Amino acid sequence: MIKYRLRCACSNEFEAWFQSSTACDAQVQGEQVACPRCGSHDVDKAIMAPNVAACGNRQDEPCPPPAATPKELRQLVRNIHRSLVKNAENVGTRFADEARKIHYQEAKARGIYGQASSEDARALVDEGIDILALPSLPEDAN
């Protein structure tokens, strides 16, 4: 089953489920789909969401998510950094120690961030401690 957004001549948009994209086309063209507002059969497939439309005529196949550009990714990382700085405590190089203490409830549970070597990070993950490695941004080095 696949959901399509349809648009009526009266400019009402509504959604309907179809067996497949071909079934949708057939039913729309065969005037078997009526607008729930005015009852007209003058309906058409509305413009799909960009990530679906990008798949062209293979609309019954799942689409891959749209790829983020390097610029968008950088912005995303920058946003995460910013919210970390605002909401978490910078523990610097004590990150691994603090993360462990919080995990074993030897320290107050809170958001922390800081630096950890890749061995430290791996050890933390092995111990089942949730951490997230973020790439650092050039301007953070200032």
Binding stretches for Zn ion (CB under 5 A):
8, 10, 12, 35, 37-38, 40
How far apart, in whole angstroms, are the C-alpha atoms of residue 84 and residue 90? Answer: 9
User: Smaller CB distance to Zn ion: residue 32 or 90?
Assistant: 32
User: Smaller CB distance to Zn ion: residue 19 or 29?
Assistant: 29
CB 21, min distance to Zn ion, A: 22
Contacts of 65 (CB under 8 A, 6+ apart): 51
For tokens 């959604």, the residue is 15
CB 16, min distance to Zn ion, A: 13
CB 14, min distance to Zn ion, A: 8
How far apart, in whole angstroms, are the C-alpha atoms of residue 104 and residue 73? Answer: 33
User: Smaller CB distance to Zn ion: residue 42 or 89?
Assistant: 42
User: Smaller CB distance to Zn ion: residue 39 or 138?
Assistant: 39
CB 37, min distance to Zn ion, A: 5
Contact predicate 93/117, CB 8 Å? no
